[in-house]
Structure 1
Amino acid sequence: MSLTIREAGEDDLSDILRLVHDLAVYEKEPDAVEATEADFAAVMFPTDGHPNTYGLVAEVDGEVIGIAIWFHSFSTWTGRNGIWLEDLYVSPEHRGIGAGKALLGRLAQICQERGLARLEWCVLKWNTPSIGFYESLGAKAQDEWETYRLDGVALTAFAEADLMRRG
């Protein structure tokens, strides 16, 4: 068995989407994925401009078994960019071979190579196996912060109310 970590290419889009769907099932949101291969292609491999989203894939003997999807964040406190890891996923049958650690390790190397200040991500509070894994790497929970989100109907309503308020 040979584990390889590499940058995602356009040929990986179907595998990326497959693993995103598997992640949604794992996170108990099997019907939540709206993204398509075209959506991923537009942000990762745009025909105009630069990508704003990036991916790493983990392969075992040529089969894509894991992904890390990320983008640049920015810290006003450090004045530097970082990496926001949107999703890290390794297929269950390939866990325990070091793929997750290798994906995170490559992201840490990218931070070092590019002078980026941070590598950050969120994890569901019930996902104790992942929390234990992250803590074993030296990652620290940012318990003093609470994540908020506006999306769907609430996002639309707020945007429309703001437009009306501005006239």
Structure 2
Amino acid sequence: MALVDCDRVAEIRVRGWRSAYRGLMPQSYLDAMSVPKDAERSRARLLQGDGSVVNIVAERDGEIVGWACHGPYRDGEVPAGGVELYAIYVDPARQGTGAGRALLDESLRRCTAAGHTRMYLWVLQGNTHARHFYERAGFRADGTEEPFEVDGAEVPEVRYARDLTV
């Protein structure tokens, strides 16, 4: 992902949150999300990053339709060889076209090639659509759950894991 991609990726991310998390977290929080602010945060992260976080975009007909991001595991202890998938978002108008699966496959491929042996991710407990997507790709809930609060509402997360094969 390049700096010029940040605006489109932010648009996809904000639209993705508003679509995927409607009814799972306060609507006031989703409504307050800002594409320009999200794009600015993305640009800052890219400029300040050390290269350990990998951003991938999916394009169709020259337009970015999705984005994925992975890197070092962020929360607490993780067994050696583990990596975390931070996010996958596809423009809601392009869901079901294979872009999400292509992004996931590319993240898995890159992490395996880098020598990682296990990938983790966090998903909202109530996000059944995403949970099924990850389960179809071989991820399984590993029994670890985290409380997550958004604007005073509890939206617990479940950790999923998948072994990576060389």
Question: TM-score if structure 1 supplies the norm length?
Answer: 0.72
Matching residue within 4, 13, 28 for 1:11: 4
Does residue 146 (structure 1) correspond to residue 162 (structure 2)? The answer is no
TM-score, length-normalised on structure 2? 0.72
- Report the aligned-residue RMSD: 2.7
Cα distance in structure 1, aligned partners of 2:87 and 2:30: 15
**Structure 2 unmatched ranges of 5 or more:** 23-28, 152-166
The 2-side partners of 1:51 and 1:106 are apart by 17
Cα distance change of structure 1 residues 79 and 122 upon mapping to structure 2, 3 Å threshold: closer
Displacement of 1:11 in angstroms is 1.2
Mark the CA change 1:99 to 1:77 in structure 2 (over 3 Å): closer, same or farther: closer
1: distance between equivalents of 2:45 and 2:51? 5
Q: Does residue 1:73 correspond to 2:66, yes or no? A: no
CA distance in structure 1 between the partners assigned to 2:118 and 2:59 by the alignment: 26
Q: Highest CA radius of gyration, 1 or 2?
A: 1
Give, as a single letter, the amino acid of the residue that structure 2 aligns with 1:90.
V
> What does residue 122 of structure 1 align with?
122
Rounded to whole Å, the distance in 1 between the matches of 2:52 and 2:32 is: 22
Q: Report the Cα distance in structure 2 between the residues aligned to 1:43 and 1:52, rounded to whole angstroms.
A: 11
The number of residue pairs the alignment matches comes to 142
1:37 partnered with 2:39: yes
Aligned residue identity for 1:133: F
More displaced 10-residue stretch of structure 1: 123-132 or 107-116? 123-132
* 8 Å CA contact 2:6, 2:43 repeated in 1: yes
**What is the distance in 2 between the residues matched to 1:79 and 1:32?**
38
Moved over 4 A (4+): 74-77, 149-152
Change (3 A) 1:119 1:79: closer
Gaps of 5+ in 1: 1-7, 153-167
Alpha-carbon distance between aligned partners in 2 of 1:77 and 1:69, rounded to the nearest angstrom: 18
In structure 2, the residue matched to 1:102 is 102
Distance 1:32 1:87 in 2: 20
Matched residue type, 2:12: L
Query: Residues 110-166 of structure 1, C-alpha deviation per residue, up to 9 Å, x if partnerless?
Result: 111100122221222222222222111111112x212145899xxxxxxxxxxxxxx
Listed one character per residue, the Cα deviations across residues 90-115 of structure 1 (whole Å, up to 9, x for unaligned) are: 12221222111110100111111100
